[in-house]
Amino acid sequence: MFKAQALEKYKDKIVVQEYVDADDGVWININDSDLHAIKIPIPEPPDWEKIDGFGLKAKDQKFQRESYPAKLKMLEADVHDVVVRDRSLKNDMARNRAFFDKIYDELYKQKIKYRDIITWIKKQWAYRLYGKWIFVNGKPVYLDGWHWFYLNYWHLEEVGLPDYWDRDMKWFHAQRYAFTTTLAPQTDKDGNLMYLPDNSLLMFDVGQRVFFGTNNIKGRRVGDTSKTQDIMYEIISSEIEVKGGIQGDDDDTGRKVFQEKLILAYRKMPFFFVPRTNGEINPATHLSFDLPYYKDSLQSAIDYATTSKRNYYDSKKLRVYEGTEVGKTLREDVHRRHAVVRRCCGSSGGRIFGFMMYDSTVDQIELISGRQFLELTKASHWEQRNANGMTSSGLMNVFFPSWEGAEGFIGPYGESVIEDPTEEQLKSMYNIRRNKNGKPLGAKEFFENERRDLIEKGDLEGLAEHKRLHPFNLREAFTPPAKNTFFNMQILEETIAYLDFNEDKEIRRGNYIWKVYLREVEFIDDQEGRWLVSKQLPKDKGNKMVNIGGVMWPEFPDTYVASADCYRLEKTDGGIMSKGGGAVRWKHDPVLDPPTKELGEYVSERLVCTYSNRPATLDEYCDDMLKMCVYWGSLMYPEMNIDLVAKYFIDKGFKGYLMYDTDPATGRKKENPGFHMVGPNIKPKMFGLIADDIQKHGRRCKHRDYFMECASIRNMDETTKYDLFTAVGGTLLAEQSHYSEMVNRINSMTIDVSGFWGEYA
């Protein structure tokens, strides 16, 4: 029913004029540059008279819990007394079973007497199955059945029954949508999404469910784990022969969720929502809805995994799966476990019968699982579907900014108090905070103030953590840890986040291989490759070298410069073998980027190639460095604490590719190539150059691996742990040198210069 119809039908009720039409859909993932907004359709409201709260003034229309009939309470108490007095029942399990037998028997035998009770219970089932319409502040709002069940019957630890929150209403609709939808976005012939006037997408029906479930990226303490348990119980306790499973980030989290959330709520559940069990009141390992002597027993169950490993549920059929704190998973590959669980929830023919719900904060993005959770998130973008209408992961991202549903910032109608609270909202907020001017704060300003405080204290690590735990947008949920004060962390974080969420076709992973040994190198794409490159050379521009007296020289040494930081075979870092670093930098090109050009529009003066790897042998590493220099035609300026790279180049006849420092006074080159990371000046100089480069050109950097090292390094003594960082620093040091100009001059001479350069050859 719409307002126009209601005004016509209920002419005598003036209060109806205050009411407004229901929304025709619920929007989630809105106002986030990395998420496509989703409009979840809502059914048309019934006759307003059938909606809870009809006839009340709008201001008095709030969510009301179901009123448990006194007659039913009395019946339960009577049956309980009979059971307790029955001495033939020897223990709690027997008494519990007898309670169920007797109360159903009583209701069945006295159908007439308890007709009102039976009708009321049926109504509870109806709301649980189909949801319920309620009026909230003058507007019809549709509560999904899972949400209604949560609000009325799902007890929370130290809270009791939850309050109605607008955020939860949307969250539950998102879950139901993922559980049921068979729709995928329609695209035009060019593959573009097609929009309807309300900015939602034109969809088409795939004919089968398209999502295995949801990927819920959340802030702290928003109750998503309890809500997923509510859904798990609702499904498993009303279906025959189905299984639900809970798996955590380690070997104990599943148990905690099971005992502290599921069993807590289960024990408070009214009898008519509890399937028959063996009577165990406080199950420790699994909740089994199976009673052998009862012929209609569901034979369904919920358990938890005692390990984070993928094999726990392997080959089992799961109707519901909760993967809690996925982004913190220890000792397991998130992707591989996801693949296993996906098989548990679907058939090989593509039919989806299970429902998966992941939820996680990303406390420790530096963990491998944090990165994997990010990749899973990127594979779960709702609008990015394959030819079968599914996302790559089979999941759908669900994200709410931290100011939605922030504890203490909830208004009288369950609305999130994001901006300045109104007087009416203040009355229902229990966490009223005011700024120094006495103005009460909304959630957004509160979180912003917390961040400002961290910035003022210089606690960048705390700031990064705050962003991950209370993200304002999806990107912030994956904020890398800020661990130093050398560099502009904002540029680093924002650029890393940008690279995480935006595909750049220039960025490719692969390997350089010898096409002609010691003469020509080519780049081959390989997802497991050793190099990350952000530029490809045209065929006629790569591998440019000249042979002068049997020594190879780069033909155009002034365009790119390379550096390498070799590793020691025996060196370990906290049990992890260190890696060899390598980098190539595109030097400033004054023709392409004249001084009149804005820095942000520069194309040169940036990294184009990074390498962080530990091949089986040092020779292999040195050969990798040589191939890199041959391809780019760059001079190599290696870190020389370990001089193997220089030796290898000389040994292979590529001494001309090595770069030497020159004496500023005499202009004479030094005896050895490269640089040493020892002495009081070199590290501050390198850190200064890197800081300056990040400030000027950081936002154009396409090498996430390098920026992650920049963000992670805590002090100057840690450079040995960050080989790529040192290698890139080496390219910046090298860019200062005029050595390449000297090489250029020699290359352009037409005379045989082998005598002049002979000492180097």
Q: Distance from first CA to last CA of the chain, Å, rounded?
A: 90
Distance (Å, rounded) from C-alpha 128 to C-alpha 227? Answer: 14
Residues in the chain, total: 761
Distance of alpha carbon 219 from the chain centroid: 11
What are φ and ψ of residue 222, in 5° steps? -110, 0
Residue number, 238 or 364, with CB nearest to other proteins = 238
From 290-298, 467-475, 619-627, 702-710, span contacting other proteins (CB under 8 A):
290-298
Q: Would you say 298 or 694 has its CB closer to other proteins?
A: 298
Distance, in Å, from the CA atom of 239 to the CA atom of 231, rounded to the nearest integer, reads: 13
Of 21 and 424, nearer to other proteins (C-beta) is 21
Stretch that binds other proteins, among 38-46, 332-340, 500-508, 586-594 (CB under 8 A): 38-46
DSSP assignment string, 731-756: HHHHHH--HHHHHHHHHH--S--TTT
Is residue 320 close enough to count as binding other proteins by CB under 8 A?
no
H helices present in 91-143, as ranges: 92-109, 115-130
Q: Which C-beta is closer to other proteins: that of 231 or that of 499?
A: 231
Cβ distance to other proteins smaller for residue 290 or 448: 290
Q: What residues contact 76, with CB distance under 8 A and at least 6 apart?
A: 103, 271
Segment lying near other proteins (by CB under 8 A), choices 78-86, 149-157, 297-305, 388-396: 297-305
Residues 123-142 within binding reach of other proteins (CB under 8 A): 123, 125-127, 129-133
Stretch near other proteins under the rule CB under 8 A, chosen from 23-31, 116-124, 339-347, 476-484: 116-124
- Residue 457 to residue 450: CA distance in whole angstroms: 11
Q: Name residues whose C-beta falls within 8 Å of residue 160's C-beta, 6 or more positions apart in sequence.
A: none
Shortest Cβ distance from residue 125 to other proteins (Å)?
A: 5
Question: What character string, x for contact with other proteins (CB under 8 A) and - otherwise, covers 43-72?
Answer: x-xx---x----------------------
- Which residue in this structure is represented by tokens 């309670």? 99
Nearer to other proteins, 296 or 503 (CB): 296
- Is position 592 an interface residue for other proteins (rule: CB under 8 A)? no
Secondary structure (H, E, C), 222-238: CCHHHHHHHHHHHHHCC
Q: How far apart are CA 223 and CA 404, in angstroms?
A: 12
The answer to whether 364 and 328 are in contact (CB under 8 A) is yes
Q: How many CB atoms lie within 10 A of CB 624?
A: 22
Contacts with other proteins by CB under 8 A: the residue count is: 38
- Taking the least distance from each CB to other proteins, the nearer of 289 and 512 is 289
Nearest approach, Cβ of 298 to other proteins (angstroms)? 6
- In terms of CB distance, is 117 or 326 closer to other proteins? 117
Closest contact distance (angstroms) between CB of 712 and other proteins is 52
- For the purposes of burial, counting CB atoms within 10 Å of the CB of 437, is it exposed (0-12), middle (13-18) or buried (19 or more)? exposed
**Which listed residue (275, 401, 405, 633) binds other proteins by CB under 8 A?**
275
Please report how close the Cβ of residue 316 comes to other proteins at its closest, in angstroms.
20
Contact 661, 655 (CB under 8 A): no
**Closer residue to other proteins in complex, CB, 236/305:** 236
**Is 13 within 8 Å of 55 (Cβ atoms)?**
yes
Residue 318 CB, nearest approach to other proteins (Å)? 17
- Window of 102-110, 197-205, 579-587, 751-759 that interacts with other proteins by CB under 8 A: 102-110
Question: How many Cα atoms are found within 13 Å in the side-chain-facing hemisphere of 341?
Answer: 32
Q: Which residue has the tokens 């998420």?
A: 35
Nearer Cβ to other proteins (115/267): 115
**Contact residues for other proteins, defined by CB under 8 A:** 43, 45-46, 50, 104, 107-109, 111-112, 115, 118, 121-123, 125-127, 129-133, 237-240, 272-276, 289, 294, 296-298, 300
